[in-house]
Amino acid sequence: VRSGDYYMFDDFEDEEDVTDLLPSPEDQVEEEERRERQRQRGRRMTVSEDGDRTSLVSSEAERELKTDDPDKSPSHSASDERLEGDDNEKEKRGASLLTYFKFVVEFINSSMVSATRYLNRFSRDYRYIRKVLAKEKKILKAKPDFRMGMRLGINQIWQPIPLMKQSSILTRTQQTPQPEDDQPELSEVDQPPVIQLLASIWFGILAHSTFMCYFMIFLHQIKNASVLSIPLPLMVFFWGSLTIPRPSKTFWVTIIAYTEAIVIVKCIFQLDLMSWNRTAPPNNPLYSPRIIGVEKKPNYALWDLLLLLMVFFHRFMLKSLGQWTTPYVARKIIPSKLTLATMKSSTDTTNQESTRFHWQNEQENQPEGTRQSFRLPHVSEDAPSQDQLDRQNQQNQQSTSTPENPPDPSSEALIAVKGEEAPVCTEKFSTAVTETAQKYLSPAQNFFANILSSDGKEKTNVCAYMFLCDFFNFLLIIFGFSSFGTQQGDGGVAAYVQENRVPMSFLLMLLLQFALIVIDRALFLRKSILGKLVFQYFLIFGVHVWMFFILPSITERQFNDRLPPQIWYMVKCFYLLLAAYQLRLGYPTRILGNFLCKKYSIINYALFKVFMFVPFLFELRAVMDWIWTDTSMTIMDWFKMEDIFASIYQIKCMRGMETDFPQPRGVKKQQMSKYMVGGGALFFIIGLIWFPLLLFALGGTVGVSNLPYEASLSIRIGSYEPIYTMSAQDTSIFSYSEADFKALKNIYSKSRSAVTFLENYEATDVAAVRLSRSSKKLWSISPPDKERLKLELESNATLTFHIEWTVSRKTDVKDSTGVTSTPRNILIPAWINGEFNPLRKNLAELLGPEPPPNGANVSIPVRNVFPKFLKVTNRITAEVPQLMRIPMFPGFDDGEMNNGKDYLYRNATLHLSSANGTTSGQWWVVDENCDDVIYMNLLKQIPLNDCNYTFMFLFNDKAFPEGLSFISGFGILGLYTTAVILVSQIMRRAVSEMAPKIMFDDMPYVDRILRLCLDIYLVRESGELSLEEDLFAKLIFLYRSPETLIRWTRPPESATGPREEGEEEDDEREERDRLRDP
């Protein structure tokens, strides 16, 4: 592969454009010439095919009428000039509005004209055939023998009388030229653009009435979803859509007859005589009358009648085009009795004319191996025998072939044939069985033989549209899985992602859909018509069984109860129609690159960028292409080839855009373009740098209030059962009003730190939590634990009071429950100032076997138990020191309070209460101390505060909306370390490290390299693997040699002609010498 050399690049030609190697749209020049020839022949277009003509003729005419010759215009008087001067200001005011209005009108007109031209592509063939048939019908009706014919065969099918000539058995009757009508009919060309657009839509429907019938059949199946209706789509997919060239008359007659039978059956089963019509039907999708399709319901035959209406409309269209009945084809029949009658032409009564059958004439033109014999075993007495006819034909041929007797083209012979087939039983039994089986099996054999045969087919490629259908269904399964599976009401895919779980049925459906895409791609690359046909039939059967029988039984819903399965089935039907179209026409002979790379427009460039941006899509396609394509490359060489082609294609698109929007040399860039491009980039970079800070700074504006739905407080001694547990919910959590919040601000109006803190919140962000004094649970401690606790209290070991408060809020942040808990430990030493701690002594007495008689009045004071003010965020719950300071009160300045954090918590008193003075049911009571200095001078004034309860005031941060919660969940540092730095590195790689890529990204002319890549694709598809390897070696050497790459990417010479190689080398040598010797 790497053995290329310079000799490969000695000659390069620019005669051919690289776009000639790719399928291109209709050439505009040829299209104009074709239209001009049609106009010269007097052909009138039914719908405007002249897309360049718009409906602005009237407006242009008005402008021409308004524009007068200045020489012929009269001179204005002085008064007229003054009046015109006064009107100029009014005209300037209305000029801008009128200009914009005209622009909108012109834009709408041009859009309608463009849409008309685009839609006319889909009906061009139909309109042309319709016009030609109209002329031929007019000529046919002018003939004297019009409507003359006979009924032949056992089916008594009417056939026109065949006309035979003496001169040639293959020459038809010469038609006398009819002068064309000089007065053309009224055409849509002269109509406004709206009428032209509507006419193009109508003719598009007429040209594709077959597809409209298919669509109605699919819609009929979606709305009925029963056993009675399912044969209709099966007939479409198994039979009609695969028939070459179009569905036969038998197919449409079968559709009509079966639909009428459905209507009759449904009508019969609507009677109340049926037992299931007397009771309410169960809610079971597989209920027998429902799944069969005979359930009683209103408008039971609506979709059947609409389908019949559409099919009959299509039948009318086929009859108008002459495609409803196929032409009579002579077939080999079982021996029959024929009656042959000959009629002499009235123009020639002297010469004996030869009479021949049209099938005999056709047989003479066939090769010897394919010629079939037609025998006449029984001929009526008044008719000549076959031998006599042959001898007579020979004589006539000899007589007519002489130059003295030229043939008379006006002489014709009429033949009338009457036949009757003999019964099969007259032949031998084995022969009869063979011929009967061949008679009924030959249509099916010919049906599949026509599909598998590649002769005479116009190859096509619709795999891109098939992939889009499959990809759409893939996304539909992802986002609408709840309609396909048994998991109902579990939140869908969003809940699966948040909970990090995947149902097995969801995974199997995605894998199956992905496998179908891979199999279809493999069959396309191998060009296997037989494999695609088997896959098509398997897919048709599997889809209908799964959608209409398995899916309702799994989901316990009818198929048409949810919208996603209906959309999935309709899109799958479109996929099957595209696949049938691919089977009818066959796979393309050569597959040249990506389907997005057929053109070099900005749209294709953007789509190709999206294709390259999707993760693993480029790699997956390249690997599949390498596996199922015959090639001599290794997989790494294949990736190199695909990467080179992708790069060259993008450069080609960029050069095309530079050609379409050229920039003159030496002209400075316009300020508008600089502000649009550079300003946009500048705002993006600045916004990216400051986005995290701006997001959290505007959190109070874009966020919503998020008050807690639960708050709790728990107190425990050591490792034993909690002595106090209380929670507040619903009615125990109060939101501040505007008046309460204003009063709170007035209390702290002289404290700068407190005012600064309160400015970050609103009234709806403050919640007052009311906790009951008594614990909500009995103190359920066992007697052994109680005795062990008493011993620990009397010992010299330090005990710990564990206090914990918990706040629960709603949150949309990933990996966050919204529940924040904050613990606090209070140490209770055994000795204080040389004396045993009275707190422990009182507790030990309460826990003794014989509590003191006044135990209910025994108080156990505990200092710094719980906070009064809390700041609640998504992650932590912190105390608020600004609201616990009283700088104006003597002895409570900031310096003293900052020595510790004990002042942030409130003191409490514990009481042990019991029912009826017994120890069986005891609970603890916690009272906040309301006689200290802070409470009397500060906390007593707090709105909603009450000493009869335990109050805590929570200041809650706003919660971001659900759309921004996933961003805000990272925090400021998380956003800077992940999003900002990652995007900055991507931008740095895009705008830097460009020097090594300049040689490949700034090639001025890449058509030769692109042609080389297309040549590699071409020889690979042709099976020339040695040539493929040589061309790939040439491509690799081209990228290894910068000098050769520069020569090969040189733009083509001007129209004066290319320069010789020697002249170019001489010029380069002279330039080097001039620079060397100044």
Q: What is the pLDDT of residue 634?
A: 92
At 274 the pLDDT is 76
- Alpha-carbon distance of 572 to 539, in angstroms, equals 10
Angstrom distances, CA of residue 884 to CA of 741, 937, 938: 17, 11, 8
What are the two backbone dihedrals, phi and then psi, of residue 803, each rounded to the nearest 5 degrees? -120, 135
Q: For residue 792, which of 715, 720, 864, 865 has the smallest C-alpha distance?
A: 720
pLDDT of residue 11: 59
Q: Give the closest residue to 837 by CA, choosing from 798, 886, 807, 804.
A: 798
Closest CA to 830 of 788, 880, 795: 795
Least confident of 63-67, 512-516, 634-638, 897-901: 63-67
Position 627, amino acid: I
Region 932-958: what's the mean pLDDT? 88
Domain membership of residue 276 (yes or no) is yes
Q: How far is CA 337 from CA 29, 375, 377, 421, in A?
A: 60, 11, 7, 7
Can you list the alpha helix ranges (DSSP code H) found in 3-77? 28-40, 57-66
Q: Are 390 and 398 in contact (CB under 8 A)?
A: no
Q: Are 46 and 187 in contact (CB under 8 A)?
A: yes
Picking from 294, 321, 348, the residue at the C-terminal end of a domain is 321
Crossing angle of helices 504-526 and 617-627, in 10° steps, is 50
For the chain, what is the radius of gyration of the CA atoms? 46
Residue 760 lies in a domain: yes
Identify the weakest region by mean pLDDT among 170-184, 267-281, 535-549. Answer: 170-184
Where do we find the tokens 């799958």?
Answer: 572
In this predicted structure, which of 53-62, 96-105, 500-509 has the lowest mean pLDDT? Answer: 53-62
pLDDT for residue 231: 92
What pLDDT sits at residue 599?
86
The answer to whether residue 105 sits within a structural domain is no
- For residues 22 and 920, the model is more confident at 920
Specify if 1076 maps to a domain: no
C-alpha 948: how far from chain center: 64
Q: What is the pLDDT of residues 627-662, one digit of tens each?
A: 998 899 999 999 999 999 999 999 999 988 888 888
Phi, psi of 826 (to 5 degrees): -120, 120
Q: Containing domain of residue 737, as a range? A: 705-884+903-959
Give the range with max mean pLDDT: 172-186, 217-231, 692-706: 217-231
Domain count, the chain: 3
CA–centroid distance for 608 within its chain: 16
Whether this model's pTM surpasses 0.85: no
User: Is it the case that residue 806 has pLDDT exceeding 80?
Assistant: yes
Whole-number pLDDT of residue 375 = 40
For the stretch 83-99, pLDDT in tens is 455 556 555 555 677 88
d(CA 307, CA 205): 16
- Under 8 Å between Cβ of 531 and 454: no
Identify the domain boundary among 928, 959, 990.
959
Helix ranges restricted to H, 726-882:
738-747, 752-758, 783-794, 838-846
Regarding whether 813 and 954 lie in a shared domain, the answer is yes
> Residue 303 pLDDT > 60, yes or no?
yes
**Alpha-carbon distance 244 to 293, whole Å?**
32
Give the pLDDT band (50/70/90) at residue 845.
confident
Residue 689 banded pLDDT, cuts 50, 70, 90: confident
pLDDT at 161: 64
> What's the burial of 1015, exposed, middle or buried (CB within 10 Å: 0-12/13-18/19+)?
middle
Q: Is the pLDDT of residue 583 over 70?
A: yes
**Angle, helix 209-224 to helix 231-238, in steps of 10 degrees:** 140
In a domain, 221, yes or no: yes
- Between these two residues, 361 and 136, which has the higher pLDDT value? 136
Q: Where a domain ends, among 588, 618, 637?
A: 588
Q: How would residue 153 be classed by pLDDT, with cut points 50, 70 and 90?
A: low
Q: Which amino acid is at 661?
A: F
Bigger pLDDT: 677 vs 276: 677
Say yes or no to pLDDT of 693 above 50: yes
Q: Is 593 left (phi over 0), alpha (psi -120 to 50) or beta?
A: left
Residue 627 within a domain = no
Residue 729 in tokens: 């919910």
User: What does the buried/exposed string (b/e) look like for 489-524 if buried means 16 or more CB atoms within 10 Å of the residue's CB?
Assistant: eeebbeebeeeeeeeeebeebeeebeebbeebbebb
Residue 690 lies in a domain: no
**Which residues have a Cβ under 8 Å from the Cβ of 923 and sit 6 or more positions away?**
774, 775, 777, 778, 779, 912, 913, 914
Q: Which two tokens stand for residue 1070?
A: 């002279």
Q: Does pLDDT of 996 surpass 90?
A: no
Position 163 pLDDT exceeds 70: no
What is the per-residue burial (b if ≥16 Cβ within 10 Å, else e) of 1039-1067?
eebeebbebbbeeeeeeeeeeeeeeeeee
Q: Residue range 428-454: average pLDDT? A: 83
Q: Is the residue at 261 inside a domain? A: yes
Could you write out the DSSP letters of every residue in 236-267? HHHTGGGSSSS--HHHHHHHHHHHHHHHHHHH
Does residue 966 carry a pLDDT above 80? Answer: no
Cis peptide bond N-terminal to 1004, omega within 30 = no
- Which residue, among 834, 833, 858, 835, has the nearest Cα to 845 in the 3D structure? 858
Q: Which residues pair with 165 in a beta bridge?
A: 412
